[in-house]
Amino acid sequence: MQKTILITGSTDGIGLETAKALVLKGHRILIHGRNSEKLKRAENILTSIAGDSCVESYLADLSCMADVKELAKAIAVQHKKLDIVINNAGVYKTPEPITTDGLDVRFVVNTIAPFLLTQKLLPLLGTNARVINLSSAAQAPVNIEALVGNVKLADDLDAYAQSKLALTMWTHSMAISLKEYGPVFLAVNPGSLLATKMVKEGFGMAGHDVSIGVDILTRLALDDEFSTASGQYFDNDVGQFVTLHPDALESEKSEEVVQVIKTVLADKDV
């Protein structure tokens, strides 16, 4: 059965390669990017192998919460149901780490934007749907003051690692709060240091074959073995589900992160 699958950050790297793999399996793919030229190029690549009827493209800057809201709205206009959301878009190293709202862009793009997008898309996601959040092997305790923009994080890796733990925390928290009434929520490290633009620019290395990540994302999206794994974290470096970071297992800490994200969004009137 054809599934409708949204993949954010799918104009290159693991996002685009996963879109290729899924569209070749006959699924309808909704791709997203923030650069119109790259988005059009990705759309052309996918339609050349699957046809126009299987690909849609959506332009949005996930560092802007208004764009995230409009993205969700645009998708809802076109679709009454989504089967899979893969929150893949991410930022590691950037010359402008602070947004116009005074927030660290790693927290905004890697943590807050996927939270908001998922919340807005929940009415389209049935109990058999899945939300797959790309986390990382790099996870560090979340500085709440940094999350709200009161403290600037000087180290790129620290900011990235904190944002990825925060993402994993709200993934687990949302799975628990919605239980059987919501979709399956999964966090995944698709593989450390894959050959993506982020790794090349951030670490100055070629990286490992992105097919490692494509394979696990495709499995998480489609395979029945993951249908009862909501709230868990899959570490593809070891090829299995592993115990969550201790902070993610502390309900009070996870709830604090969720509430802070909601407060940030409320302050931005979204």
- Run means of pLDDT, 10 residues per run, the chain, 270 residues: 96 96 96 98 94 88 97 97 97 92 96 98 97 97 97 94 98 95 97 67 68 95 97 97 97 96 87
pLDDT digits (tens, 9 = 90+) for 146-185: 999 999 998 999 999 999 999 999 999 999 999 999 999 9
pLDDT digits (tens, 9 = 90+) for 77-102: 999 999 999 999 999 988 899 999 89
Residue tagged 């620019």 (tokens): 201
Residue type, 38: K
- CATH number for position 125: 3.40.50.720
What residue numbers bound the domain in which 54 lies? 4-267
From 92, 160, 181, 233, the catalytic residue: 160
pLDDT of residue 194: 67
pTM, entire model: 0.96
Q: How far apart are CA 161 and CA 140, in angstroms?
A: 5
User: Does residue 160 have an active-site annotation?
Assistant: yes
| Overall domain count for the chain | 1
